[in-house]
Amino acid sequence: MSDLTKTPAGRTTPMVKAEAVHKSFGAVEVLKGITLEVNQGEVFVLVGPSGSGKSTFLRCINHLEKINAGRLSVDGDLVGYRQKGDRLYELKDREVALKRRDIGMVFQHFNLFPHMTALENIIEAPVQVKGESRSAAKERGMALLERVGLAEKAGNYPSQLSGGQQQRVAIARALAMQPKLMLFDEPTSALDPELVGEVLDVMRGLAEEGMTMIVVTHEMGFAREVGDALVFMDGGVVVESGSPREVLGNPQHERTRAFLSKVL
C-alpha cells in the first residue's frame, strides 16, 4: 500500500477513529464512550455479549445510526457531519449516501434483495449509484461471483440459495462498490454450523488482500487467526483491547474471562 494519505506528523490516517462515542436509544444509553482506532489494512474484531453495543457501534460507522456525543471519523472525515470552525453541520442525505459508497456492509441476515437474481443484486448499486454501464457492471459482477465461488449461481434468486451462498453473494454485492472499508455485522451468526466455513474463507481471502475490515463476530478461531486487533466490549464500553492472541489467550479483566470461558 503506497498511496496511503499521510498526516503532517508522518503517520497514516487511521481508517476509523472513534473518540468517546456515545449513542442512546431514548433513555437507554447503548454506547457509553467508545474510543478506538482502526488502521488501514487492519482486520479489527469486535467481540462481546449481545447487547454490549458492538452492532450499534458498527452501524454508527456508516451512519445507519446517528451518534449523540463524541467524534467518529472514517478516513479523516467526520461521519454524518461537516466541521467548519468549531461548528458542526449535519450532512444532507445525498452527502451521507456519497460517503456510504466507500463503506461496504454485510449483515447478519444477508438482506439480499429477494426480487433480484444474485448478479442483479451485485450490479444494482454500481449501476444505480455510480452510473456504471450495465455490461461493465455485469462483467465485474461475474468476476466477483467467481471470486466467492458462485459463478454458476448468477441467475438464481436469493430464495434458491443456501444461507452460506446468500452471505457470499452479499459480500460480493458490498465489494462491487469497491469500498475502502468493510463492516461485517455477525456475518455467520444466522448460518448453519456447516456453512460458516465457506463465509469465513471468503473473509479470510479479503483480509489477505489487505482490505480494512471491522468484524463483529463470535467466531473466536477466526478472530485469533485473521484478526490484527481485538476489542472486548460490554455494557457499551471497551473493557479490554489488544492483539487477539493476547486478549483471547490471556484476558486481564474478570468480565472478559467470564465471557470467554462461555464462548471458547
Selected from 3, 26, 85, 93, the binder of another protein by CB under 8 A is 93
Footprint of another protein on residues 64-83 (CB under 8 A)? 64
CA atoms within 13 A on the CB side of 130: 18
By beta-carbon proximity to another protein, the closer residue of 93 and 254 is 93
Selected from 128, 133, 178, 243, the binder of another protein by CB under 8 A is 128
What is the pairing mode between strands 16-25 and 28-38? antiparallel
What is the pairing mode between strands 212-216 and 181-185? parallel
Cα 43 to Cα 61: distance, rounded to the nearest angstrom: 15
Selected from 77, 124, 201, 228, the binder of another protein by CB under 8 A is 124
Residues 6+ away with beta carbon under 8 Å from 43: 207, 212, 213, 215, 226, 227, 228, 229
Interface stretch with another protein, choices 46-54, 81-89, 101-109, 250-258 (CB under 8 A): 101-109
Q: Determine contact, residues 112/170, Cβ cutoff 8 Å.
A: yes
Provide the 3-class DSSP secondary structure of residue 136.
Answer: helix
Query: Contact between 184 and another protein (CB under 8 A)?
Result: no
Count residues near another protein (CB under 8 A): 31
Query: Contact between 57 and another protein (CB under 8 A)?
Result: no
Positions touching another protein (CB under 8 A) are 62, 64, 93-94, 97-101, 103-105, 107, 109, 111-116, 124-125, 128-129, 157-160, 173-174, 177
